[in-house]
Structure 1
Amino acid sequence: MKFQATQLLNGKYSSPNPSMKVFLLTSSLVLLTMVPLSLTRYSHSSYPNPKINISISESIELEKCDIFSGNGVSDPKGPYYTNETCHLIIDQQNCIKFGRPDTEFLKWRWKPDECELTRFNATHFFELVRGKSMAFVGDSVARNQMQSLLCLLAGVANPKDISLNYTSNTNFKRWFYPEYSFLLATFWSPYLVKARDTDPNGHSYNVNLMNLHLDEVDTAWSAQIENFDYVIISAGQWFFRPLVFYEKGQVVGCSKCQLEKIVDRTIYYGYRKAFRTAFRTIRNLQAYKGVTFLRSFSPAHFENGDWDKGGKCGRTKPLAKDEIRPDWYIMKLYLTQKEEYRAAEKEGKKRGLHFGLLDTTEIMFQRPDGHPNNYGQWLHKKVIVNDCVHWCLPGPIDTWNEFLLYLMKKEARASFRRN
């Protein structure tokens, strides 16, 4: 049984009976704890494409609507879940648990200009991903979205933690839903490429100098995602640290490093090269047949100072469109991402790969009210800062997974037509 289940996760064993697939996986979870993580790669599903029940009106909207152009509107229904109905919220984003007194930030939802954005439907989601796998690759904001998804799904099914060697590490988690044979994973990679902290004690929240090898991918994720069906990739805030850039093993410049005799390069140089390497790696994975989504840059909302200089984000309402003043440097990062995404999408088509853009940047400028601020407990308890980077759960980040489900339905419809 151990041999068969391991082969199943590696894509080397398939059963003609889907229920046998679920049986093998669920009955072997204990045995699999003895299997190295490198052996537990999930395979592309052999399940046929699900026949998603999409109404005629929704089908038309899938064809024409730009869901990322719109505005926030009042939502009397409120959030999908609470911190009492979802027990998977980590303290860092558990704003209500840690005393946030206002709740108006929970009573808004996104309304596209041209259509209605369908509310998240966990049953529809599970039908799309039955027998499949999904990975979130990036930093703690990527993990934040994954945790939002866990809570959105909790009303229908709860997962088993099969994180193996990483059980105590929230940066590398694997959740399995046996009822749907669905694997959900998160891979910590804040730069997407190979990175080394010059501090011998490793990563800290001090501003340590980082060495980035812009042409070498981070194998912490690239060695794991080849057999995943959906990969959501993102990166952002860590690029504001002082960075030394390497290519072909040689220093080619740095950003904010203040080192003599090294070419001063902008953050955008490193950001572009990192995404280019990440997308090239995905395209070159021989067995990869999944759908890749780029989740665009998520803006922070520090006011009256940076994160380490007393900045806060205490607003309680969204901004109207005419109140938004986008930071130019964030928009430049966003445009850099989109340019690399478009190039990757074009090249990917030559291999029959499919890409999607989860465009969250401009819409999240409207939500300075959605951050934990001081209503959360950081994982690194010695550090006391206001968190204006991550998002409360429940909160505005749940919209990202409404977008994700919408794009997955659209891709499923396109796949059905192709086949």
Structure 2
Amino acid sequence: MATTREINVQKINFSWPLYAFIPLIFIFLCFFYIFAQSLYSQSYQLSPYYPLSITPPFSTQPLSLIPPKGKVEEEHACDYTNGKWVYDNLGPLYNETSCGTMKEGRNCLSHGRPDKQYLYWRWTPENCKLPRFDPKTFLETLRNKHLAFVGDSIARNQLESLLCMIATVSTPELVYSHGEDNKFRRWYIPTHNLNVSIYWSPFLVKGIEKNNEKNYNVHNLESVDERWASDIGKIDILVLSVGQWFKLPAVFYYNDQALGCHICEGKNYTEIGFDGPLRMAYKTAFKSILERKGPTGGSINAILTTFPPAHFEGEWDKLGTCSKTLPYEPEEKVLQGMEEDMRKIGIDEVREAKQKAKEFGNRIKLEALDITKLSLLRPDAHPGPYMLPNPFENGVKDRLPNDCVHWCLPGAIDTWNEILLKVIKRLM
């Protein structure tokens, strides 16, 4: 039997190793704590998605250093072109009386359009969400920038939609106006030091518009239109939008040599259509952007709005109408023919220009704002006879002009700018 002394010795011998390891354990825990804190700090510094934010003390919300699954991928992979129009009771951000920058011929309600259902349709992509336009986000994203729209009256139509939505939170100030029908204008939003401009250039290249002496346009396809191109160095985001004027009678030149014409019966030119000239005009425009921004070290985001179909029921030049009051279902209307070709030309040229822009690193970014398909499904969204004030005030007339090219404000064209905001955020 062990004595009391032997038992005490055994206890001492048994506990001694524990006392010896306590300092080592303490040192290990201190080292682990410092190492963990280092990793914690680095994880914020290296995250490209979320800046360090201050949370309230004793927050019960778990701290996540990883972006929500699919969020980043959605920004890059979302296909907004396929979807359908879904009725939405919320309606537009603005109305016919709250916006002072829209052209009268687009203000369908003030001109007496009786139906209002066309205001309440929302584009819903198949595989992703398209957020409602947030003017505050738009203004903050473009703080200290110059946004310019270049093109024909459809470019102006899109610009007016954007200004109307911006005006719901900050009033644009017109600071420059020049040319017939105010074809060159600039607005300033002082709250965010943002300039928004419109440049009239229906061909993007040099040309002569048809007039009383000549009933056809002249395009000089090798030379960019300097009325907008001379300001490339002052522009941060450029939105190009042309197409409708290429469908009109025209003669096309390249380096002073006549290439041919479009709709030129009776003239001594070869009929070549307008597909080739449209492609060449895009090439010249993109080439000018790359040549003027690339070597200087400057940056620019160039966005091409794809061709939006018109909806004349009948031939465009035969006083056709657009009297529908509901959108098409996707299966009712398929993109084909001329509209499909014009869309494809634009997308092809953007893709080619993006490849050429790679030599300048990440400074020049190009993207297509593909609105052709979603616009095809909205025959109800044009002014139609309400391009004129109260067209049926004195009864129904036998012949009445209809605008089935431009878009009512507010209306379906506001969706273009919802997508534009997503594209700009992705590029910037």
Which TM bucket (shorter chain)?
Answer: 0.7 to 0.9
Which of 251, 256, 272 does residue 244 from structure 1 map onto? 251
The reply to whether residue 399 of structure 1 matches residue 415 of structure 2 is yes
Give the aligned partner of residue 23 of structure 1: none
Task: State how 1:190-209 maps to structure 2 within 5 Å.
Answer: 190-197=202-209, 199=211, 208-209=215-216
1:234 Cα deviation from its structure 2 partner? 1.4
Q: For the pair shown, which has the larger CA radius of gyration, 1 or 2?
A: 2
Residue 150 of structure 2 aligns to a residue in which SS?
A: strand
Q: How far apart are the structure 2 equivalents of 1:198 and 1:318?
A: 34
Give the aligned partner of residue 235 of structure 1: 242
1:259 Cα deviation from its structure 2 partner? 4.2
8 Å CA contact 1:296–1:358 kept in 2: the answer is: yes
Residue 76 of structure 1 aligns to a residue in which SS?
A: coil
Q: How far apart are the structure 2 equivalents of 1:235 and 1:226?
A: 21
Give the aligned partner of residue 307 of structure 2: 297
1:385 Cα deviation from its structure 2 partner? 2.1
Counterpart amino acid of residue 316 in structure 2: W
Give the aligned partner of residue 173 of structure 1: 185
Which of 375, 382, 404 does residue 388 from structure 1 map onto? 404
Give the aligned partner of residue 383 of structure 2: 372
Residue 231 of structure 1 aligns to a residue in which SS?
A: strand
8 Å CA contact 2:178–2:185 kept in 1: the answer is: no
Say if 1:341 and 1:199 are closer, same or farther in 2 by CA, change over 3 A.
same
Residue 335 of structure 2 aligns to a residue in which SS?
A: coil
Cα deviations across residues 207-259 of structure 1 (Å, max 9, x unaligned)?
x1111111111111111232211000011111111111101111121111124
Counterpart amino acid of residue 425 in structure 2: K
Counterpart amino acid of residue 374 in structure 1: P
1:151 Cα deviation from its structure 2 partner? 0.6
Give the aligned partner of residue 360 of structure 1: 371
Cα deviations across residues 138-190 of structure 1 (Å, max 9, x unaligned)?
00000000000001111110011111545x74211100011110000000011
The reply to whether residue 153 of structure 1 matches residue 201 of structure 2 is no
Aligned residues: 353
1:58 Cα deviation from its structure 2 partner? 4.4
Q: How far apart are the structure 1 equivalents of 2:211 and 2:177?
A: 28
The reply to whether residue 342 of structure 1 matches residue 351 of structure 2 is yes
Q: How far apart are the structure 1 equivalents of 2:101 and 2:176?
A: 15
1:70 Cα deviation from its structure 2 partner? 1.3
Segments of 5+ residues of structure 1 without an aligned counterpart are 1-49, 203-207, 413-419
Counterpart amino acid of residue 412 in structure 2: P
Q: How far apart are the structure 1 equivalents of 2:378 and 2:194?
A: 32
Q: How far apart are the structure 2 equivalents of 1:274 and 1:63?
A: 28
Q: How far apart are the structure 2 equivalents of 1:77 and 1:322?
A: 26
8 Å CA contact 1:93–1:377 kept in 2: the answer is: no
8 Å CA contact 1:227–1:289 kept in 2: the answer is: no
Q: How far apart are the structure 2 equivalents of 1:135 and 1:226?
A: 12
The reply to whether residue 216 of structure 1 matches residue 223 of structure 2 is yes
The reply to whether residue 64 of structure 1 matches residue 74 of structure 2 is no
1:340 Cα deviation from its structure 2 partner? 1.2
Counterpart amino acid of residue 206 in structure 2: K
Give the aligned partner of residue 24 of structure 1: none
1:260 Cα deviation from its structure 2 partner? 4.6
Q: How far apart are the structure 1 equivalents of 2:385 and 2:360?
A: 47
Counterpart amino acid of residue 361 in structure 1: T
Greater CA drift, 388-397 or 280-289: 280-289
1:327 Cα deviation from its structure 2 partner? 4.2
Counterpart amino acid of residue 306 in structure 2: S
The share of aligned pairs that are identical, in percent, is 37
Greater CA drift, 280-289 or 290-299: 280-289
Q: How far apart are the structure 2 equivalents of 1:335 and 1:99?
A: 37
TM-score (norm 2): 0.78
Q: How far apart are the structure 1 equivalents of 2:275 and 2:211?
A: 24
The reply to whether residue 86 of structure 1 matches residue 96 of structure 2 is no
**Cα RMSD between the aligned structures?**
2.4
Q: How far apart are the structure 1 equivalents of 2:405 and 2:268?
A: 34
1:193 Cα deviation from its structure 2 partner? 0.8
1:116 Cα deviation from its structure 2 partner? 1.1
Cα deviations across residues 277-312 of structure 1 (Å, max 9, x unaligned)?
111111111445110001000100000x22331200
Cα deviations across residues 100-135 of structure 1 (Å, max 9, x unaligned)?
011111111111111111111011111111111100
The reply to whether residue 408 of structure 1 matches residue 424 of structure 2 is yes
1:349 Cα deviation from its structure 2 partner? 1.8
Say if 1:160 and 1:404 are closer, same or farther in 2 by CA, change over 3 A.
same
Cα deviations across residues 349-408 of structure 1 (Å, max 9, x unaligned)?
212310111001111110001000011239xxxx96200000000000000000011111
